[in-house]
Structure 1
């Protein structure tokens, strides 16, 4: 369900996996902007700068993951996973490489079963054990079981290739959703789908607004849900919101340069 509007009249998201309280759409947007544009200081030393100097680096994984194009099958997928979850040594690289080879037929089977439908458009039985075997949910569960020692790298690579169908999961986000699994669910993916369906209008607005403001990527609501859940479960949400409210994109949003899907910027409406 979509929670009641906030006191300022704005729409909200009701995402039980992130906590019991509704999240205003403005808060969610600020968090996404902070994730995309936020910077953190890093002390850097080099032969040219032996005494060191401060550099500003991306605080989160947007530039290394969301803004990256889909490349050819192979090592590119592992690099994408590393961009979000960190470097792998030689043994772990081989583990992820082998895991991706094992799970790609399962991801292909899920895509065939979805038949062009997005994850949030799938009928209930596709994420229920009552509809098995052969469902999308069964394929996703099997991917999780066979993804080796670094499932987060594997799911990152698969989501990057199929951002409208394969959820990106980490240990922290999976744990956060376990308490919301209902009888008959094929896995925590069913929780994600319920939250996407219940918040469809608000997430549609967030999806369109994010794409219009940022321009370098068009994350689906599946990825936006993942970002918000990860920020909340790792206690980074407040920091991301603060970073987001300091961005040029946030100032443009508040000034009305972008209002919402289907609406022209104020400067183009002649007002």
Structure 2
């Protein structure tokens, strides 16, 4: 089913119940993602050389520490990627994430084999349904989430960064937001993400192109775009990111 993702040459609509009851236009979604990627905020800091302190602008969100980083060469780099999005870990937490990534590696390989080169949004619905289990993508993702450990957001961030077209990035906050949208037979909350991507296939294809045009050098997959929009809405940061994206676009146009 792709009929709910309405698109015309002038206007594209994203119907995302997990983000909110009102459809999103392409320009709002694009501005929010661009604001997430390029938006800045003020931070006041002190140092031995400047004991009185001063203001500095720093990235408002995690894009530069996560999305803009290359894929790591080993598990140590993967842990650093997770920290870039979700914050520093203490030594015990660092080792827990490292060990979880190592333990989950065979299951992630099985997941990739099951997908057989298909991105998450092109998988048939049966892959995210309990009716097709065991061995489905949905069952494998559910198991990965259950065994990600006490620092699951760090683990899933690292796994998504390695396979941005296959492994959804979920946090406790976004997972709870997706729960009310589960339908009978869903293998897990990943099925909700899959359904929204499938329904809005045309809209997300347009959003991918629009964001890639704005962010030269980086082209986030629609799986990451859904994650960003959901997280911004769930954490009440959507308006700030959208305003930042609109401001940045306006400043480029006026310049």
Q: Scaled by the length of structure 1, what TM-score is found? A: 0.89
Question: In the alignment, what sits opposite 2:193?
Answer: 192
Is the 1:81–1:157 contact (alpha carbons within 8 Å) kept by the matching residues of 2? yes
SS in 2 for 1:21: coil
Is the 1:33–1:250 contact (alpha carbons within 8 Å) kept by the matching residues of 2? no
Q: Give the CA deviation at 1:216.
A: 3.0
Distance 2:244 2:121 in 1: 29
Is the 1:102–1:146 contact (alpha carbons within 8 Å) kept by the matching residues of 2? no
Point out 4+ residue stretches in structure 1 off by more than 6 angstroms: none
CA RMSD of aligned residues (A): 1.7
Aligned pairs for 1:150-165 (under 5 A) are: 150-165=151-166
Aligned match for 1:2, one of 4, 8, 13: 4
Is the 2:121–2:197 contact (alpha carbons within 8 Å) kept by the matching residues of 1? yes
Question: Over residues 168-193 of structure 1, what are the superposed CA-to-partner deviations in whole Å (9 max), with x where a residue is unaligned?
Answer: 00011101110111111110111101
Paired residue total: 252
Is the 1:127–1:185 contact (alpha carbons within 8 Å) kept by the matching residues of 2? yes
Q: Give the CA deviation at 1:208.
A: 1.2
Is the 2:35–2:245 contact (alpha carbons within 8 Å) kept by the matching residues of 1? yes
Q: Give the CA deviation at 1:114.
A: 0.4
Is the 1:178–1:188 contact (alpha carbons within 8 Å) kept by the matching residues of 2? yes
Aligned pairs for 1:16-95 (under 5 A) are: 16-95=17-96
Question: Over residues 199-225 of structure 1, what are the superposed CA-to-partner deviations in whole Å (9 max), with x where a residue is unaligned?
Answer: 111110110111121113110000000
Question: In the alignment, what sits opposite 2:207?
Answer: 206
Query: Given the alignment of the two structures, is residue 218 of structure 1 paired with residue 219 of structure 2, yes or no?
Result: yes
SS in 1 for 2:135: coil
Q: Scaled by the length of structure 2, what TM-score is found? A: 0.95
Question: In the alignment, what sits opposite 2:128?
Answer: 127
Between 1:148-157 and 1:98-107, the stretch displaced more is 98-107
Question: In the alignment, what sits opposite 2:108?
Answer: 107
Question: Over residues 10-45 of structure 1, what are the superposed CA-to-partner deviations in whole Å (9 max), with x where a residue is unaligned?
Answer: 221100001111011110001001000100101011
Segments of 5+ residues of structure 2 without an aligned counterpart are none
Query: Given the alignment of the two structures, is residue 142 of structure 1 paired with residue 143 of structure 2, yes or no?
Result: yes
Q: Give the CA deviation at 1:2.
A: 3.2
Q: Give the CA deviation at 1:5.
A: 7.2
SS in 1 for 2:239: helix
Distance 2:48 2:242 in 1: 37
